[in-house]
């Protein structure tokens, strides 16, 4: 059951299994985006705090530490225990995310369920990571070991606070890394509570450390730290460039980056049930208030069904319930911050000024909270800003196309390549599109079907590496080759 005013139990940094104040004593406010009121003040990590967290993680990764000498199956037991505690407290955790993120409580609950399943999936991998023996010429034996990369820094965004934590922690813990996590400054409170569950579950001190703070201070310190072996970052492409530069100029640490997207969804003339196609495309862009890196934010519709598709899309957007995220009828809460709201409204103005047809929405909803009307544009062309740049808000841009070759070419004319989708009853069209589109995920007659066991990541400027699935483990592993000279037998 949702807790409209959940008690905020933890607001300090979590380092070495203890909650501590920032060295500077500084705090920052966390804002409720529905009311614009301050929820609480959270300790603001600085460089010194990141150093302390990295030291704790380094000590926890030392060869004789309890974490490094722990059996793989015991590591899995700890992960599963954490999942049990998260399940026990899922209503409370979901309420925290709804409070500081603004997403509907029902969506927060779904996020929690998915996050737990992700951690459980990776717990199952703990004792299944192994190397190989390799035949050698002469009197040699060769084998490989798959070993944890070491101390990892993880920087997560505000759009899926618990889910992004699970995506990052799952593979890192499964292989035996230790962690310094920086949650987004807009949504840190659920991460800190999970820190308390980490201690309750029995994880050794230093294995997981949580340092909320500003990106240009705490995030920068993580990306530049000489004793962090790998950074996993999810966020904008612009910030991803800074993280990559910092990693290269410090110690050439390894990177996994899941960045922005401008993903196409192609609706063919033979899509089948048009109402279902309209609803799927609506969910692809409006889910999570449009604050989704793989949102289907370019809706390409075949010219033969375009006008009808637009009319039905407008009707669906107008029916979308926007309001109190704790109300079970609400489908869309506020945007996460005033900055995000103003940014989205700026894109809407660009859409209008550049000649797109505003079919519905287009304005702020009310004068309290960061609510935006669900917005639909038609007659959008590829050269318009709303068709090229990531809006990250509840704005659907509907474009018209004529042929499959044309729409494939237009789908690929973007600096991004995170996701894509096609709706068709023709398997040949589906396969042609799936092979030709340059995107990390292709969804056929569905969208945003991310599962713990399926790799996720992007082409081009949508990032490097993959998360989830078996491939997600590889990003946290080193391969060590051991070659042994075997003495000749005297027998």
The residues carrying an active-site annotation are 258
Closest to 112 (Cα-Cα) out of 187, 199, 194, 181: 194
Burial track 370-379 (b if 16+ CB lie within 10 A, e otherwise): bbbbbbbbbb
Q: Is 182 helix (H, G, I), strand (E, B) or coil?
A: strand
- Give the C-alpha separation, 156 to 491, whole Å: 61
Cβ atoms of residues 395 and 290 within 8 Å: yes
Burial track 126-161 (b if 16+ CB lie within 10 A, e otherwise): beebeeeeeeeeeeeeeeeebbbbbbbbbbbbbbbb
- Give the C-alpha separation, 30 to 6, whole Å: 14
- For residue 339, give the H/E element and its range: helix 338-353
What residues contact residue 204 under an 8 Å CB cut-off, 6+ apart?
A: 17, 60, 65, 66, 67, 70
Q: What are phi and psi of 274, to 5 degrees?
A: -70, -40
- Give the C-alpha separation, 268 to 271, whole Å: 5
CA pseudo-torsion sign 186, 190, 193, 195: negative
Cβ atoms of residues 342 and 392 within 8 Å: no
Closest to 278 (Cα-Cα) out of 255, 296, 257, 251: 296
Residue listed under structure tokens 């609480």: 40
Closest to 8 (Cα-Cα) out of 35, 26, 32, 24: 32
Closest to 441 (Cα-Cα) out of 415, 433, 113: 433
CB count in 10 Å sphere of residue 469:
18
- Give the C-alpha separation, 403 to 269, whole Å: 10
Please give the C-alpha separations between residue 323 and each of 29, 46, 359, in angstroms, as whole numbers.
23, 36, 21
- Give the C-alpha separation, 226 to 43, whole Å: 24
């Amino acid at each position: 059951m949702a807790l409209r005013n959940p008690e905020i139990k933890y607001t300090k940094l979590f380092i070495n299994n203890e909650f501590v104040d920032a060295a500077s004593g500084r705090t920052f406010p966390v804002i409720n985006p529905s009311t614009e009121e301050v929820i609480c003040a959270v300790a603001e990590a600085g460089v010194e705090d990141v150093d302390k967290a990295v030291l704790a993680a380094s000590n926890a990764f030392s060869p004789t530490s309890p974490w490094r000498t722990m059996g793989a199956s015991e590591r899995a037991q700890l992960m599963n225990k954490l999942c049990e505690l998260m399940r026990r407290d899922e209503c409370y955790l979901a309420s925290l995310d709804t409070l500081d993120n603004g997403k509907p409580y029902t969506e927060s609950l779904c996020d929690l369920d998915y996050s737990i399943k992700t951690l459980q999936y990776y717990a199952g991998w703990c004792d299944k990571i192994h190397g190989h023996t390799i035949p050698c010429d002469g009197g040699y034996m060769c084998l490989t070991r798959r070993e944890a990369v070491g101390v990892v820094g993880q920087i997560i965004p505000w759009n899926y606070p618990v889910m992004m934590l699970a995506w990052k922690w799952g593979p890192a813990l499964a292989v035996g890394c230790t962690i310094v996590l920086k949650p987004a400054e807009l949504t840190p409170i659920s991460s800190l509570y999970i820190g308390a569950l980490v201690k309750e579950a029995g994880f050794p001190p230093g294995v997981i450390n949580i340092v909320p703070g500003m990106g240009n201070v705490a995030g920068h310190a993580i990306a530049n730290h000489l004793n962090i072996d790998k950074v996993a970052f999810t966020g904008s492409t612009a910030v991803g460039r800074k993280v990559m530069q910092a990693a290269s100029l410090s110690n050439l640490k390894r990177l996994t980056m899941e960045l922005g997207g401008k993903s196409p969804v192609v609706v063919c003339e033979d899509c089948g049930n048009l109402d279902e196609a309209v609803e799927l495309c609506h969910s692809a862009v409006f889910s999570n208030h449009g604050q989704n890196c793989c949102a289907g934010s370019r809706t390409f519709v075949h010219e033969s069904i375009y006008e009808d598709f637009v009319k039905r899309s407008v009707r669906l957007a107008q029916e979308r319930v926007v309001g109190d995220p704790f109300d079970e009828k609400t489908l869309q809460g506020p945007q996460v911050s005033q900055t995000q709201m103003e940014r989205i409204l700026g894109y809407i103005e660009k859409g209008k000024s550049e000649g797109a047809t505003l079919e519905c929405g287009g304005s702020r909803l009310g004068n309290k909270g960061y609510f935006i009307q669900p917005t639909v544009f038609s007659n959008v062309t590829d050269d318009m800003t709303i068709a090229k740049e990531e809006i990250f808000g509840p704005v659907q841009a509907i474009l018209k196309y004529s042929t499959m070759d044309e729409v494939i070419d237009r789908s690929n004319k973007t600096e991004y390549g995170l996701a894509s989708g096609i709706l068709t009853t023709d398997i040949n069209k589906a396969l042609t599109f799936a092979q030709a589109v340059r995107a990390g995920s292709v969804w056929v007659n569905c969208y945003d079907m991310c599962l713990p066991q399926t790799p996720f990541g992007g082409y081009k400027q949508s990032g490097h590496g993959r998360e989830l699935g078996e491939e997600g483990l590889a990003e946290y592993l080193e391969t060590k080759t051991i070659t042994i000279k075997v003495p000749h037998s005297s027998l």
